[in-house]
Structure 1
Amino acid sequence: MKRLLIKNARVVSPGVGICPGALLIEDGKIANIHPLSSAVDLTDVETLDAADRLLTPGLIDMHTHGVRHFLYDNGPDDLRQALQCVPAYGCTCTVPTLVATGSPDMLERIGTLADALQETPGATAPGLHLEGPFMAETGAACKRMAGDTVLLDELIAACQGRLAIMSISPETANIIPVIEHLNEAGVVPFMTHTRADVEQTEAAIAAGARHATHFYDVFYPLEETDEGVRPVACVEAILADRDVSVDFICDGVHVHPAAIRMSLWAKGFEQMMLITDSSMGAGLPAGEYDTPWGFRITVVPGKGARIIGPHEHAGALAGSSLTMNQGVANLLDWLDIPPEQVWAMATSNPARVLGLQTKGTVEVGTDADLVLWNDDLTPRRTWVGGECVFQDESNTDERVDR
């Protein structure tokens, strides 16, 4: 039996508090939590002194298309490489996100990636996130397509029980049966890419779509048709319903911090989440890079990637370059709430939305997916299932006593 004691840590219980303590890990699970680190003295156990550093659950990213030079849409090799990369940013669980365009090869491509999820290195992946194909508003590579439960069954079958999330637009024709079928199949429907009015949004919510992803981004307002009367639409309908949770790309570019603060007061921290929606370029140093899309991008770490000319869309955003730890650091800076509530937005809250009962918390019996943090909120060590999958190169001399 492999046993590891992490002592002298400041243990973050998401949404609850931060207390000094020690964690005992046995066979990939949290076996015990000791509130007084200095008093812990166990035999037959490896010991790591956290030296009063923060110890949190691993971060969970529900919406990400890739990282560094790797894109999930490119296939299993890129998927494996990306899952090995993200623990360097504190992410221990991620939902690889694919753009489901309705192309002829879509089912085969999705099936190949679902196969690859059976055994993954680095971060765990509880399933796939299909962004589309039932969308009403284009954005990124998404196309418009009406709801189709026959196609939905084909997509679910292609995923071999590994479809975790599907993003849809509330105003898409025939979308209500799709939402209901997703819930029956245990797939979480996310609302996004929408210009829906209040009634369309409320109908989708009533059918079971109770989460909005990359909120505010591609959530268009309606045009003012009665001068002096401000129209309300999907954003207001979502903010007004406390049962609907939301997530944001917290880079300060895709969403202004003021909009996130407004959502916090409407929703409460329990219904707020952080995603990256990252793509090629996330985690890379500042610079210019080639892409498989026929143009080059310039990357500003944590602030997005933009298309380089000559190109008709030169200067436009080409995706997020955010990493999960950068997003947490931004929220800690922007929001005047206790830090344990911010940590919940990247751990226990997404775990709840995804139904992952053994992840996102520091409790006896849960998975030992943990991150020990440096003062600058870069990971010092990251564990997945009790195995160290990332160690900061600057602390390679740090000793684990045996």
Structure 2
Amino acid sequence: MNPLHDRDAPLITLLRVGRVFAPEALDATDILIADGRIAALGRDLAIPDGWPVRFIHAPELTAVPAFIDQHVHVTGGGGEGGCGTRCPEIAAHEIASMGIGTVVGVLGTDSISRSPADLLAKVRGIRAEGIAAYMYTGAYRVPPPTLTGDVQRDLAWIPEVIGLGELAISDHRSSQPSHEEIARVVSDVRVGAMLADKRGICHFHLGDGKRGLEPLRRLLEDTEIPADQVIPTHVNRHRALLEEAADYALRFDASIDVTAFDEAGDDGLSGFDAVSRLLERGVPVERITMSSDCNGSLPEFDAHGAYLGMRVARNTALIADWQRLVHENVLPLESALGLVAGNVARVLGLHVHKGRLAVGFDADIALLDHDLQPQQTFVAGKCVYRTG
């Protein structure tokens, strides 16, 4: 049986594991799942005779909240070197095999051959295969491309749209938006999100340009926009930018997103190194998230901005960097889980039903082995990945 099509399973599942981290360690080994949500947690939970229950015994595995990846080029990124450099779409099994239960789809440089409509179709296709999926409207450029012709309408009327992104700043590929343009777009997102009862974040792509985070600092200094409305990503692109990001997070009590690069380059930092440095600088772990940028392009340019070549990002580095943070005792498991689950859910406004293992929350669960490698992934109580 293909786990991604596990739709004929009973409505009730009793999952019995070795340990449960919610993210804090619980005195529980049983998770009762009903109608896609967690109904109970405990030990030796009893089920009445005759109930249609599926029992899953995995005493050697640890249950944690399924991971949330807030930056995925689900339709493929790239295109900076012409049509032959468009990156491929991601498959649902590639997502689930990393313990990821929720993704947020994003457009990047190319919003011409790929559109918000393409992105929405792919997001709905991923949902049909059992993965929780959302999207940002917009792309690198301003004015942002939208589904309805208006950012506020996209947020108000399209359930899958939870914000705007990835709007590019401090990058030669951006549309070089002015302070006024950035403020207008962010305020439009804020109002549209309020009308839709969503968090409505603006997910900002940071390039390696000399302005760094200055556009966002000015936004927060000169307007009434709250810091949790804007999330800068790729802040570990180079060391000076990471130091600036640490100052930004501390000054504004803001959240920042670290990218788990496959190869960090000469001046960049891996996700592991970046999180370690931010913690050393005193940035609270609750203000740090990690994402993969997977299926996006990793282009190389010369000093004049001419295209040299590219690679395709994968989500394997996200899990590897996260595991290393725990294995090397940079963070305990319960704190590290925030980087890829609870913190992300809060940033995205999904924290009322995702990012924790608790009664009433979505039954999005990753089962990890002793090495913290995902062995099974459940989304809304359905098994979407299983090894072997």
TM-score for the superposition, normalised by structure 1: 0.70
CA distance in 1, matches of 2:260, 2:307: 23
Is the 1:382–1:389 Cα contact (8 Å) retained in structure 2?
A: yes
Residue identity in the other structure for 2:315 = L
Residue identity in the other structure for 2:98 = Y
Match of 2:15 in 1: 6
Match of 2:371 in 1: 376
Relative distance call for 1:359 and 1:306 in structure 2 (3 A) is: same
Match of 1:320 among 313, 338, 344: 313
Is the 1:201–1:237 Cα contact (8 Å) retained in structure 2?
A: no
- C-alpha displacement at 1:72, in angstroms? 6.8
Instruction: Answer yes or no: is 1:167 the counterpart of 2:140.
Output: no
Relative distance call for 1:313 and 1:191 in structure 2 (3 A) is: closer
Relative distance call for 1:150 and 1:53 in structure 2 (3 A) is: closer
Residue identity in the other structure for 1:376 = D
Match of 2:97 among 85, 88, 96: 88
Match of 1:337 in 2: 331
Match of 1:42 among 43, 47, 67: 47
Match of 1:346 in 2: 340
Relative distance call for 1:50 and 1:18 in structure 2 (3 A) is: same
Q: How does 1:1-400 map to 2 (within 5 A)?
A: 2-14=11-23, 16-17=24-25, 19-34=27-42, 36=43, 39-43=44-48, 44=51, 45-66=53-74, 71=76, 82-99=91-108, 101=110, 103=112, 109-118=115-124, 119-128=127-136, 130-134=138-142, 148=143, 154=149, 156=151, 161=158, 162-165=160-163, 166-169=165-168, 172-173=177-178, 174-186=181-193, 187-194=200-207, 195-196=210-211, 200-206=215-221, 207-208=225-226, 209-217=229-237, 234-235=244-245, 237-241=247-251, 243-251=253-261, 253-254=263-264, 255-256=269-270, 257-265=272-280, 266-279=282-295, 318-323=311-316, 324-334=318-328, 336-356=330-350, 357-393=352-388
**Per the alignment, in what secondary structure is the counterpart of residue 237 of structure 2?**
coil
Residues 318-343 of structure 1: CA distance to partner in whole angstroms, max 9, x if unpaired?
24333243232132235522111101
- C-alpha displacement at 1:84, in angstroms? 3.8
Match of 1:298 in 2: none
CA distance in 2, matches of 1:197, 1:318: 24
CA distance in 2, matches of 1:386, 1:319: 32
- C-alpha displacement at 1:5, in angstroms? 1.0
Is the 1:251–1:330 Cα contact (8 Å) retained in structure 2?
A: no
- C-alpha displacement at 1:262, in angstroms? 2.2
In the alignment of these two chains, the number of paired residues is: 329
- C-alpha displacement at 1:117, in angstroms? 3.3
CA distance in 1, matches of 2:205, 2:141: 12
CA distance in 2, matches of 1:73, 1:117: 18
Relative distance call for 1:275 and 1:199 in structure 2 (3 A) is: closer
Match of 1:283 in 2: none
CA distance in 2, matches of 1:250, 1:345: 12
Is the 1:198–1:237 Cα contact (8 Å) retained in structure 2?
A: no
Q: Larger deviation: 356-365 or 369-378?
A: 369-378
CA distance in 1, matches of 2:338, 2:213: 29
**Per the alignment, in what secondary structure is the counterpart of residue 248 of structure 2?**
helix
Residues 92-141 of structure 1: CA distance to partner in whole angstroms, max 9, x if unpaired?
100112125453x66xx31233244345313111223644114xxxxxxx
Q: Larger deviation: 164-173 or 43-52?
A: 164-173
Relative distance call for 1:239 and 1:48 in structure 2 (3 A) is: same
Is the 2:189–2:202 Cα contact (8 Å) retained in structure 1?
A: yes
Residue identity in the other structure for 2:248 = I
Residues 174-201 of structure 1: CA distance to partner in whole angstroms, max 9, x if unpaired?
2111111112222311233254367533
CA distance in 2, matches of 1:364, 1:322: 29
Relative distance call for 1:113 and 1:12 in structure 2 (3 A) is: same
Relative distance call for 1:19 and 1:52 in structure 2 (3 A) is: farther
Runs of 4+ in 1 over 6 A off after TM superposition: 149-153, 304-307
Q: Larger deviation: 354-363 or 371-380?
A: 371-380
CA distance in 2, matches of 1:330, 1:274: 13
Is the 1:87–1:122 Cα contact (8 Å) retained in structure 2?
A: no
Identity over aligned pairs, percent = 19
Relative distance call for 1:131 and 1:54 in structure 2 (3 A) is: farther
- C-alpha displacement at 1:270, in angstroms? 0.8
**Per the alignment, in what secondary structure is the counterpart of residue 318 of structure 1?**
strand
- C-alpha displacement at 1:163, in angstroms? 2.8
CA distance in 1, matches of 2:65, 2:356: 6
Is the 2:92–2:131 Cα contact (8 Å) retained in structure 1?
A: yes
**Per the alignment, in what secondary structure is the counterpart of residue 14 of structure 2?**
strand
- C-alpha displacement at 1:4, in angstroms? 1.0
CA distance in 2, matches of 1:150, 1:383: 34
Structure 1, unaligned stretches of length 5 or more? Answer: 135-147, 222-231, 281-292, 294-303, 394-402
Structure 2, unaligned stretches of length 5 or more? Answer: 1-9, 80-87, 171-176, 194-199
